Amino acid sequence: MTETPDLPGGSGLPLEPSEADLHDLLTRASGFVEDLVSGLRDAPVSWPDLDEGLHAEIRATIDEQGGSFDRGLSLMERGLPEGFNTASPGFMAYIPGGGLISAGIADLVACAINRYVGVSPPAPGMVEIEWRVVRWLCDLFGYLPESRGVLTSGGSMANFSAIVAARNDRLGEDLRGARIYVTDQAHHSIRKAARLAGFGAEAIRIVPRDERLRMQPEALSHAIVEDRRARLRPACVVASAGTTNTGAVDPIEPIADVAREQDLWLHVDAAYGGFFQMTKRGAASFQGIERADSITLDPHKCMFLPYGTGALVARDGEKLRRAHMETADYLQDLDLGEETIPNFGEYSAEFTRSFRGLRVWLPLMLHGVAAFRDALNEKLDLAEHMHAALTETPGLELPWAAGLTVVPFRVAGEPDVANAATRQVLDRVNASRRVFFSTTTIDRLLYIRPCIVVHRTHRDRIDEAIDLIREATGAVHSQK
């Protein structure tokens, strides 16, 4: 298709839009975003079909001449009703995010100014903003002034840096016989991080869990003692503050006791649950978390920020820095000596990095911390409400209390039949396109696990979800 380019570059510089062209682009982009956000409530949460024609059209884009902005927006718009809508109030699969629009606006500004924030001298004011965010995260967990942290692309990268820091601090260069302790409920990014950090698969030792799927501290202690006797090298224990499967929180205080007695690095993977620390209920279940050597957080989950926003905080910032620090001659013109504002590139695998600080700082600054705390309390209430309603629903089984905001349930009965019936309930509920759930398997039993995290999800949608689950359960039972 021949198009009239929107930015013909009358001045001969098509990459530098005139003021009028820029204004026009921004106006059209903001109209697009406004329509999108205002339509989220009523839009379906999932779409079964793929628009093959659209995919062919997208593959045919990009050529020597520029194209029309409206066509670009229209291709994006047509691409949206595919897959599932993670920004919808009905999205409760996996660990949702939501995507605060104030963070989206911050991203536009961050990309437009495009200042370099890998180290502080090129943009001290911008790095100060990011540092304020990291300090706020450290304070949330009672970390002292020597703590540091870094914003990452997500929880996986944060877990990776934590494992690297633990390795550097407890093992040095020699990884032989090293052991990292987790339960089978830990997120798979821990295994990935260990592999990327140079550990063999045998380095991961699975610690038994209790009936609530939480690590057993006595079993951890026993495993460490046994491994030391076998001349292995226990180095690190990873506790979960909200597992992905069920939201189970490992007992951090007694695990911290074991870690201290046995001289292990304690990492807490709080990618899902960490921000519930802002609430009384969350903080009570994370008791002892301030003793962790490092904590992974994912603002793109329970701070409702757009994807690509993770964080790692470390109790002793110098240990995190030592694990990642490198220098080079071509950096000699930058004054990186005395750290007044952290050079985040020294604390992370990334050097050049996007200005993630702004997308966390602007929403916090603009909405205030209380807005986040209130939203998280609301989600905890919603999870309790859904749990109570499903517990009263004949034919369903809920073996555990709601784990933070995850409400795992299954159709009761013998595994084979019940697993098939649970899958049918899921398919029926998801076919409504008003809510969208995903499943997990624990001890060979299939569970549907609504996870209530999108900031736009409120009581009306949860009640609708409960009705849909009840209807689907009734229909599946009547078929038996």
Residues near ligand PLP (CB under 6 A): 95, 154-156, 159, 187, 189, 240, 244, 269, 271-272, 298, 310
Output the smallest distance, CB 159 to ligand PLP, in A.
6
Output the smallest distance, CB 275 to ligand PLP, in A.
12
Output the smallest distance, CB 154 to ligand PLP, in A.
3
| Residue closer to ligand PLP (CB basis): 185 or 221 | 185
Output the smallest distance, CB 417 to ligand PLP, in A.
30
Output the smallest distance, CB 58 to ligand PLP, in A.
25
| Residue closer to ligand PLP (CB basis): 88 or 244 | 244
Output the smallest distance, CB 155 to ligand PLP, in A.
3
Q: Is the dihedral of CA 7, 8, 14, 17 positive or negative?
A: negative
| Residue closer to ligand PLP (CB basis): 153 or 424 | 153
| Residue closer to ligand PLP (CB basis): 297 or 421 | 297
Backbone angles phi, psi at 311, to 5 degrees: -160, 150
| Residue closer to ligand PLP (CB basis): 23 or 188 | 188
| Residue closer to ligand PLP (CB basis): 89 or 247 | 247
H-assigned helices in 114-173: 124-140, 155-170
Output the smallest distance, CB 416 to ligand PLP, in A.
29
Asked whether 104 and 33 are in contact (CB, 8 A), the reply is yes
| Residue closer to ligand PLP (CB basis): 196 or 365 | 196
Residue entry with tokens 């975003």: 33
First CA to last CA distance, the chain = 55
Q: Is the dihedral of CA 232, 235, 240, 244 positive or negative?
A: negative
Output the smallest distance, CB 272 to ligand PLP, in A.
4
Q: What angle do CA 18, 20, 24 make, to 5 degrees?
A: 115
Output the smallest distance, CB 379 to ligand PLP, in A.
15
| Residue closer to ligand PLP (CB basis): 107 or 269 | 269
DSSP-derived pairing of the beta strands 233-240 and 265-270:
parallel
Beta-carbon contacts of 351 under 8 Å, excluding residues fewer than 6 positions away, are 118, 345
Q: Is the dihedral of CA 225, 226, 227, 229 positive or negative?
A: positive
| Number of Cβ atoms within 10 Å of the Cβ of 242 | 31
Residue 406 β-bridge partners: 403, 451
In terms of C-beta density within 10 A (0-12 exposed, 13-18 middle, 19 or more buried), how is residue 136 classed?
middle
Which 3-state string (H, E, C) describes 37-75?
HHCCCCCCCEECCCCHHHHHHHHCCCCCCCCCHHHHHHH
Selection from 289, 234, 287, 239 nearest residue 262 by Cα: 234
| Residue closer to ligand PLP (CB basis): 129 or 186 | 186
